[in-house]
C-alpha cells in the first residue's frame, strides 16, 4: 500500500513524528543513499527509511557502527549521490574521525549528518551538545523546532550541502524527534545523482599538503554559508521591543508559547536561529545594537550566548546579555515553556509569574529499570551470579543488558561507552587481582566489541567475555545487524557468525550455550572460571519480543505457582522476573507476562508449568 511519506502529493497534510518528517524532507530533496546506526532519539528516522525501503528510490543500510555509516555515506557523496547519515549524539563521537576529514574534502553529491541530541539523558549516558562538534569540524547547522520544520529543514540542508559541496549538520533534540505535528508535504524530487567527480587526488586524498590547501576552502565555504544564513528565512526577526530574545532549536517553540501571552510580543524583539551556524552576525549585531538587554534561550551549552558575548565585545557594545543562570536556564536537561517564561519575565524586569504545572498524582508505583519477563539476559546473569557472585567485577556495555545493574542481578560495576566492556574489563584486570567478567550484546559486538577482543588476545589480557546474543538490536527497536537470521527483505544470506569471528580473532577458549538452560550455562561458566586468559562464552537465545514479532515464535507454556513456599520466595528474590506477582506472602505468575522461558522451574521445583511443550 502506498505510504504518504514516500508517495504523498504536495499540499497534503499528515500528522507525522519529527523523525518521520525528516524522512519525508529527505525524499523531497531527492535523497539517494541513507546510512545509519540506530540510537534513541534518532531511531524512528532510519527505521522509517528501512520500513519503506522496498518501495523507496533510495539505497538504505544499517551500518555496523556510526563511523562505518559515515564512511559509507562519505563514499556515496564522493560518487555524486545525495546522502543522509543518521545517528544519536554520542554516535558522532564514534564518527568523529571521518567527519573531521570529510569536511575538508567536501561532499560533491551533498551529505547531511543527522545528530539527535538528548538533553536530560532520557536514553543516553551524557548530554553532549553537538553544535560544538559543528564548530570544530566546520559544519553549517540547522535546528528545527516543529515537525513541519523538521521536514523542510532536512530538505533544505541536503540541498544546501549539494550547493556548497559541504557536509551539513541537522541537529535535533529528543522533544523534536518524538513530537508529532501536522506537516504539509512539498513536491518530492526525483533522485538525481550529480556526475561522479573526476579523479583528483589534490582534493580527495588529504595527505598533509592537500589538507593544508583544503582547510582554507572549508573556511571559504563557511563564509558562503554565513552569507546565506544572514538572509535565510529560517532566521526571522519579529517585534521591535526594547528587550531582545535569541533562541535556537526546540527552545524557539517554547519562546513562541511565552510570547503569545499577555502582550510580551510588543515588548520584545525576537530573533529565531533555525539556520544557526555560521551565526548570522549582521542580524545578531542589529539585535545587540537596538536592545538594551538580550536573552539567549538554548538547550545545552551556552554556544550562541558565548558567540553573542564575543560579538558584543568585538564591537564595543555594552548590551546586557542574559542566558545561562537566568530564571533557571541551565546547561542541564530539557527546557519547557514554564522555565522559559520565568526567564523572559526576568529579562523584561517583571516579577516572574507562578506557573501552575501539572503534577503527577501521589502514590504512583515506581518502576525501576528492568529486563523484560523471559529475557534470556536475565538467565545469563543469574548463571554468572551463581558462579562468580560478588567475587568478580562486571564490565558492562550499552544495550538492554545494562538493565541488569540493579540487585539481585547486580551485573554492572562500570561502563564507559558502546563497545567498551571488553577493553575496559581488560584494563581493570591488568590493574587488579579480581576476576573480570565483561558483557556485550551481539549488535554491540559488531559495533565495536571486535577490536577490543582482538586487543585483549594480542596483549594477553585475563578476561571472561559473555556475548549476550539475542539475535537483534533490541533496545533501539529490533533493528537488524550482520548476525540476524532475517530482515525485512527476507533471510539474511550474508549472516556473520559470532563464534567464527571470535575464533578468528585468536580466542581458543570458546563455548556457545543457550542461557535458558541453566545447568549447561553454569557448567560452562565453572569451566571457564578455572581458566586464565581471554575466554568467550556466547549465550545465544532470541529476544522473546523479537522472536514473536519477526520470527513468529510464541511460547505455548507458562509457569504457575500452585503453592507459595520458601523455595518460591527465594526464587523470586534471586531471579526478580517481572512476571511474578507478590501479594503479601503470596506469589503468583502473570500468565500474560510470562513468556514461557521456564527458567524459574529450573531454580525451584515448586513452580510448575501449564500448557503444551
pLDDT at residue number 497: 95
* CB contact at 8 A, 174 and 19: no
User: How big is the chain by its Cα radius of gyration, in Å?
Assistant: 27
β-sheet with 463-469: strand ranges across: 393-395, 436-441, 463-469, 534-540, 509-513
Q: Give the residue carrying C-alpha cell 544495550.
A: 399
| pLDDT band per the 50, 70, 90 thresholds, residue 107 | very high
How far apart, in Å, are the Cα atoms of 325 and each of 104, 338, 340, 343? Answer: 37, 15, 12, 9
* CB contact at 8 A, 109 and 193: yes
Q: DSSP E strands: which ranges in 274-423? A: 275-277, 293-297, 320-322, 393-395
Q: Give the residue carrying C-alpha cell 501449564.
A: 610
Count of CB atoms within 10 A of residue 537's CB?
Answer: 25
Q: Judge whether residue 407 has pLDDT over 70.
A: yes
Closest CA to 65 of 459, 482, 382: 482
Please report, for the chain, how many H helices and E strands are present, in that order: 24, 25
Using CA atoms, how far apart are residues 118 and 120, in angstroms rounded to an integer? Answer: 6
Q: Give, for 21, the enclosing helix (H) or strand (E).
A: helix 18-29
| pLDDT band per the 50, 70, 90 thresholds, residue 99 | very high
Low-confidence winner among 66-75, 253-262, 327-336, 337-346 (lowest mean pLDDT): 253-262
- The pLDDT tens digits of the residues spanning 113-164 come to 999 999 999 888 899 999 999 999 999 999 999 999 999 999 999 999 999 9
| pLDDT band per the 50, 70, 90 thresholds, residue 70 | very high
Using CA atoms, how far apart are residues 198 and 179, in angstroms rounded to an integer? Answer: 43
pLDDT at residue number 369: 79
pLDDT at residue number 613: 57
The contacts of residue 337 (CB under 8 Å, 6+ apart) are 254, 257, 258
* Nearest 10 degrees: Cα torsion 196, 201, 204, 209: -160
Closest CA to 441 of 395, 484, 473, 404: 473
Closest CA to 151 of 303, 8, 255, 256: 8
* For residues 528-534, average pLDDT: 97
Closest CA to 604 of 587, 581, 582: 587
Low-confidence winner among 178-182, 301-305, 366-370 (lowest mean pLDDT): 366-370
pLDDT at residue number 67: 96
| pLDDT band per the 50, 70, 90 thresholds, residue 612 | low
Q: Judge whether residue 358 has pLDDT over 80.
A: no
Using CA atoms, how far apart are residues 243 and 326, in angstroms rounded to an integer? Answer: 14
Q: Report the percent of the chain where pLDDT is more than 90.
A: 83
Q: Report the percent of the chain where pLDDT is more than 70.
A: 99
pLDDT at residue number 261: 75
| pLDDT band per the 50, 70, 90 thresholds, residue 355 | confident
- The pLDDT tens digits of the residues spanning 246-305 come to 999 999 999 999 998 777 888 999 999 999 999 999 999 999 999 999 999 999 999 999
Closest CA to 304 of 269, 265, 274, 262: 274
* CB contact at 8 A, 483 and 546: no
pLDDT at residue number 150: 98
pLDDT at residue number 578: 93
- The pLDDT tens digits of the residues spanning 506-529 come to 999 999 999 999 999 999 999 999
Using CA atoms, how far apart are residues 62 and 324, in angstroms rounded to an integer? Answer: 38
Low-confidence winner among 7-11, 232-236, 262-266, 344-348 (lowest mean pLDDT): 262-266
* For residues 553-578, average pLDDT: 91
Q: Judge whether residue 485 has pLDDT over 90.
A: no
Half-sphere exposure for 476 (CA within 13 Å, toward CB): 26
Q: Which residue has the higher pLDDT, 335 or 551?
A: 335
Q: Judge whether residue 2 has pLDDT over 80.
A: no
Q: Judge whether residue 425 has pLDDT over 80.
A: yes
Closest CA to 417 of 403, 402, 436, 437: 402
| pLDDT band per the 50, 70, 90 thresholds, residue 476 | confident
Closest CA to 84 of 173, 151, 179: 151
SS3 321: strand
What value does the mean pLDDT of the chain take?
Answer: 94
* CB contact at 8 A, 246 and 168: no
- The pLDDT tens digits of the residues spanning 83-98 come to 999 999 999 999 999 9
Count of CB atoms within 10 A of residue 477's CB?
Answer: 14
Closest CA to 399 of 430, 368, 364, 445: 445
Q: Judge whether residue 1 has pLDDT over 90.
A: no
Amino acid at each position: 500500500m502506498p505510504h504518504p511519506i514516500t508517495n504523498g502529493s504536495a499540499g497534503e497534510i499528515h500528522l507525522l513524528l519529527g523523525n518521520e518528517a525528516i524522512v519525508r524532507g529527505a525524499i523531497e530533496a531527492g535523497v539517494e543513499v541513507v546510512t545509519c546506526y540506530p540510537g534513541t532519539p534518532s531511531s524512528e528516522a532510519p527505521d522509517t527509511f528501512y520500513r519503506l525501503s522496498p518501495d523507496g528510490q533510495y539505497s538504505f543500510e544499517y551500518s555496523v557502527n556510526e563511523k562505518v555509516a559515515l564512511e559509507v555515506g562519505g563514499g556515496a557523496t564522493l560518487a555524486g549521490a545525495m546522502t543522509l547519515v543518521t545517528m544519536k549524539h554520542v554516535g558522532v563521537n564514534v564518527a568523529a574521525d571521518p567527519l573531521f576529514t570529510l569536511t575538508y574534502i567536501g561532499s560533491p553529491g551533498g551529505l547531511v549528518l543527522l545528530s539527535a541530541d538528548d538533553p536530560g539523558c532520557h536514553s543516553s549516558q551524557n548530554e553532549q551538545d553537538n553544535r560544538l562538534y559543528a564548530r570544530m569540524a566546520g559544519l553549517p547547522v540547522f535546528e528545527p523546532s516543529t515537525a513541519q520544520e523538521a521536514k523542510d529543514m532536512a530538505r533544505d540542508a541536503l540541498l544546501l550541502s549539494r550547493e556548497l559541496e559541504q557536509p551539513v549538520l541537522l541537529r535535533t533534540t529528543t522533544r523534536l524527534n518524538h513530537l508529532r505535528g501536522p506537516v504539509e508535504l512539498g513536491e518530492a524530487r526525483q533522485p538525481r545523482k550529480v556526475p561522479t567527480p573526476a579523479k583528483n587526488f589534490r582534493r580527495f586524498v588529504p595527505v598533509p599538503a592537500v589538507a593544508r590547501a583544503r582547510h582554507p576552502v572549508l573556511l571559504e565555504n563557511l563564509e558562503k554559508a554565513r552569507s546565506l544564513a544572514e538572509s535565510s528565512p529560517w532566521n526571522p526577526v519579529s517585534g521591535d521591543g526594547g528587550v531582545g530574545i535569541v533562541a535556537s532549536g526546540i527552545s524557539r517553540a517554547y519562546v513562541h508559547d511565552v510570547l503569545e501571552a499577555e502582550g510580551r510580543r510588543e515588548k520584545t524583539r525576537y530573533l529565531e536561529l533555525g539556520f544557526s551556524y555560521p551565526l548570522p552576525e549582521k542580524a545578531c549585531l542589529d539585535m545587540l545594537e537596538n536592545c538594551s538587554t538580550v536573552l539567549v534561550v538554548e538547550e545545552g551549552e551556552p554556544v550562541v550566548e558565548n558567540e553573542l558575548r564575543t560579538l558584543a565585545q568585538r564591537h564595543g557594545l555594552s548590551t546586557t546579555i542574559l542566558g545561562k543562570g537566568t530564571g533557571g536556564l541551565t546547561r542541564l536537561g530539557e527546557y519547557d515553556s514554564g522555565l522559559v517564561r520565568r526567564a523572559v519575565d526576568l529579562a523584561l524586569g517583571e516579577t516572574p509569574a507562578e506557573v501552575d504545572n501539572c503534577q503527577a498524582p501521589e502514590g504512583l508505583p515506581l518502576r525501576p529499570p528492568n529486563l523484560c519477563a523471559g529475557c534470556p539476559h536475565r538467565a545469563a546473569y543469574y548463571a554468572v551470579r551463581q558462579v562468580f557472585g560478588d567475587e568478580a567485577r562486571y564490565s558492562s556495555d550499552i544495550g538492554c543488558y545494562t538493565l541488569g545493574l540493579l540487585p539481585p542481578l547486580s551485573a554492572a560495576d562500570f561502563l564507559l561507552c558502546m563497545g567498551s566492556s571488553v577493553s575496559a574489563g581488560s584494563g581493570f584486570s591488568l590493574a587488579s587481582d579480581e576476576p573480570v567478567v565483561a558483557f556485550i550484546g551481539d549488535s554491540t559486538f559488531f559495533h565495536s566489541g571486535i577490536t577490543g577482543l582482538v586487543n585483549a588476545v594480542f596483549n594477553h589480557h585475563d578476561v571472561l567475555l559473555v556475548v549476550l546474543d539475542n539475535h537483534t538490536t533490541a533496545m533501539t527497536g529490533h533493528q537488524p545487524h550482520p548476525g540476524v537470521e532475517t530482515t525485512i527483505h527476507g533471510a539474511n544470506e550474508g549472516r556473520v557468525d559470532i563464534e567464527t569471528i571470535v575464533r578468528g580473532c585468536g580466542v581458543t577458549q570458546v563455548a556457545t550455550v543457550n542461557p535458558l538452560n541453566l545447568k549447561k550455562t553454569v557448567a560452562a561458566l565453572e569451566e571457564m572460571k578455572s581458566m586464565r586468559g581471554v575466554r568467550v562464552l556466547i549465550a545465544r537465545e532470541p529476544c522473546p519480543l523479537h522472536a514473536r514479532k519477526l520470527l513468529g515464535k510464541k511460547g505455548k507454556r507458562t509457569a504457575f505457582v500452585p503453592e507459595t513456599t520458601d523455595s518460591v520466595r527465594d526464587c523470586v528474590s534471586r531471579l526478580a522476573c517481572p512476571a511474578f506477582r507478590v501479594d503479601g506472602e503470596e506469589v503468583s505468575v502473570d500468565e500474560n507476562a510470562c513468556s514461557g522461558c521456564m527458567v524459574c522451574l529450573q531454580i525451584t521445583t515448586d513452580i510448575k508449568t501449564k500448557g503444551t511443550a
